[in-house]
Structures are given as structure tokens and as C-alpha cells.
Amino acid sequence: DFLRHVAPRTRRLRAIAIPGEAVSLPASAIADAARASGVPDVAEATSVEAAIRGLAPDAEAGVPILICGSLYLCGTVLAESG
């Protein structure tokens, strides 16, 4: 349901499962939901690093990157990206 509101403003999405969290949705389920919501460029990433690397051209062009998920995911992203 969340993606329905975000999708119209989203060009690219990289889906990952929360590392180390057994109850996390699989990346494939997140990617499928994003596609169904109309996000044009969706891919699964195997790690936080891979997801960030997939969005790097946008970040370098000044396009904001929004991290969505639990605080566990946000903490992992911040810890791994410095």
C-alpha cells in the first residue's frame, strides 16, 4: 500500500531484503510490488552496496535517494555507506 503513494514520484527502485532479519520480505516480493505499483525501473539488489551502486548515477546528478523500510534497514544503509 505504501508503494502506491510513492510510485508516481519514483523513477528507479532497488529492492533488498533487510540483511540479517529473518522476517524481512524477500527482495523479489518488494520488486514485484514496486512493478505492480508502476515504478518504471525496478531491480533486485543482493546487498545494500549493490543497491546504492545501482542508484549512484542519480545521486551524482543530484537526484534525492529515499530509503524506505524499517529502521533496521536505514541503520544498515547508514552504517555501510559511511
Residue type, 68: C
Q: Decide which of 78 and 44 is more confident.
A: 44
Residue whose C-alpha cell reads 537526484 in the numeric block: 63
pLDDT digits (tens, 9 = 90+) for 27-73: 999 999 999 999 999 999 999 889 988 888 888 888 888 888 888 88
Residue 10: pLDDT band with limits 50, 70, 90: very high
Q: What is the pTM of this model?
A: 0.85
